[in-house]
């Protein structure tokens, strides 16, 4: 019997729980020759902002043991070019497209929310709150529960679409951040974004990245992500998307057991552009081989 792989993510029906992670899959179209988008649950766009951004100077990516650091600097085409050049492709794919976005003030986040809310081809919104609030001395929205709640609450009022809030791991207490976002109106939480790290070139006695620090991702940080998903899943009622170092179906199923309803695949797509498709197929094969009729039976089914 073919297992039922479908899940419902805050009102969005997904054919399976495997999504792509923001910033690692372009705007979907760039990967469509290599990955069958209609074999995955959903795809998430590169983080979008009101104005186009060129991003940081290079070098802005470096491989590290078991992972990578990036300091892309949120390069993106901006909302106007997104609407005119990227959204038309979404009509040709029968898979939900999720828009990831950010701002540097609450007002910018709200304006982005309004603009994205008006696009019928966008199934849901994912707010990246790992950005500095320029009006509050540069404090990162996602590292202070009050700051996070203020931006999530304001965005909540600006959209009727499902609102996913993407949490930063650069905090001491992920559960209080998750609760603050849920209380402020998030329909779903995705976690985790990258963890701040750095790499040094000994011979040049300089940082490798032009930006000095960057976001760490990949298999070496999966245990941290898994721990945070497990902690948050026990503390909130909204569904969770597990993200962090998912390289194969085993990793993805571990996140589901820890309490995630869906997962996002990021760094793995740089190694194999059809990683998400392969992971979805391998998860289904695992369920069939282990007589699990419905993926939903595994969500949060970890025995502790
Ligand atoms: C090159 C690169 C660019 C990223 N850009 C974004 C972004 O624009 N917005 C965002 O919310 N997350 C961004 N991320 C974070 C990923 O979506 C994901 O949370 C993180 O990489 C952890 O998952 P992974 O270990 O599977 O890569 C980026 C990650 C990488 C590696």
145 alpha carbon to ligand 1 midpoint, in Å? 22
pLDDT of residue 139 exceeding 90, the answer is: no
The helix/strand/coil state of 76 is: strand
Count how many Cα atoms sit within 13 Å of the Cα of residue 296 in the half-sphere of its side chain.
Answer: 9
pLDDT digits (tens, 9 = 90+) for 205-262: 999 999 999 999 999 999 999 999 999 999 999 999 999 999 999 999 999 999 999 9
Among 174, 173, 172, 152, which Cα is nearest to 163's? 152
pLDDT of residue 134 exceeding 90, the answer is: no
For the question of whether the overall pTM of this predicted structure is more than 0.95, the answer is yes
Mean local confidence (pLDDT), 40-65: 97
pLDDT of residue 124 exceeding 90, the answer is: yes
pLDDT of residue 137 exceeding 90, the answer is: no
Q: Which residues line ligand 1 (CB under 6 A)?
A: 21-24, 46-47, 70, 72, 74, 100, 128, 166, 193-194, 215, 217-218, 243-246, 265-267
Task: Based on the residue annotation, tell me whether 131 is a catalytic residue of this protein.
Answer: yes
From 19, 23, 53, 226, mutation site for ligand 1 pocket: most ligand atoms within 8 A of C-beta? 23
Beta strands in 232-296 (DSSP E): 240-243, 262-265
Kind and range of the H or E run holding 262: strand 262-265
pLDDT for res 226: 98
Q: What are phi and psi of 120, to 5 degrees?
A: -60, -30
Q: Tokens for 84?
A: 């005119």
Mean local confidence (pLDDT), 9-38: 98
pLDDT for res 202: 98
Mean local confidence (pLDDT), 68-89: 97
**CA dist., res. 50 & res. 171, Å (int):** 27
Alpha carbon nearest to ligand 1 atom 22, residue: 244
pLDDT for res 156: 98
Alpha carbon nearest to ligand 1 atom 4, residue: 23
289 alpha carbon to ligand 1 midpoint, in Å? 32
pLDDT digits (tens, 9 = 90+) for 265-284: 999 999 999 999 999 999 99
pLDDT of residue 14 exceeding 90, the answer is: yes
Phi-psi region of 56 (alpha: psi -120 to 50; beta: other; left: phi over 0): beta
Q: Tokens for 256?
A: 């589901």
Which residue among 131, 147, 155, 181 is the active-site one? 131
pLDDT for res 91: 98
Token match 């909204």: residue? Answer: 238
Q: Do strands 188-191 and 163-166 pair parallel, antiparallel, or not at all (unpaired)?
A: parallel
Q: For a pLDDT cut of 70, what percent of the chain falls above it? A: 100
Alpha carbon nearest to ligand 1 atom 9, residue: 47
Contact call for residues 67 and 220 (beta carbons, < 8 A): yes
19 alpha carbon to ligand 1 midpoint, in Å? 12
């Amino acid at each position: 019997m073919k297992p039922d792989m479908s899940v419902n993510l805050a009102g969005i029906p997904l054919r399976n729980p495997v999504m792509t992670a923001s910033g690692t899959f372009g705007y979907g179209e760039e990967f469509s020759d290599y990955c069958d988008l209609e074999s995955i649950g959903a795809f998430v766009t590169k983080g979008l902002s009101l104005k186009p951004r060129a991003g940081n100077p290079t070098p802005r990516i470096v491989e590290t043991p078991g992972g990578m650091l990036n300091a892309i600097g949120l390069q993106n085409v901006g909302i106007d070019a997104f609407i005119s050049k990227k959204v038309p492709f979404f009509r040709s794919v029968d898979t939900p497209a999720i828009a990831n976005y950010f701002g540097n003030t609450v007002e910018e986040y709200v304006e982005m929310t309004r603009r994205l809310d008006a696009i019928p081809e966008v199934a849901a919104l994912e707010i990246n709150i790992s950005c500095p609030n320029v009006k509050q001395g540069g404090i990162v929205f996602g590292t202070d529960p009050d700051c996070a709640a203020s931006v999530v609450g304001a965005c909540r009022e600006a959209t009727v679409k499902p609102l996913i809030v993407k949490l930063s791991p650069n905090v001491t207490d992920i559960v209080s951040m998750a609760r603050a976002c849920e209380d402020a109106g998030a329909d779903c939480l995705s976690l985790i974004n990258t963890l701040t790290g750095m790499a040094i070139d000994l011979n040049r006695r300089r940082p490798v990245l032009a930006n000095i620090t960057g976001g760490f991702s990949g298999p070496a940080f999966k245990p941290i992500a898994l721990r945070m998903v497990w902690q948050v899943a026990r503390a909130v009622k909204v569904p969770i998307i597990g993200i962090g170092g998912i390289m194969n179906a085993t990793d993805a199923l571990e996140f589901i057991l820890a309490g995630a309803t869906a997962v996002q695949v990021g760094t793995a797509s740089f190694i194999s552009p059809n990683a998400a498709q392969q992971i979805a197929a391998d998860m289904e094969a695992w369920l069939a081989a282990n007589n699990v009729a419905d993926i939903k039976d595994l969500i949060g089914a970890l025995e502790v």
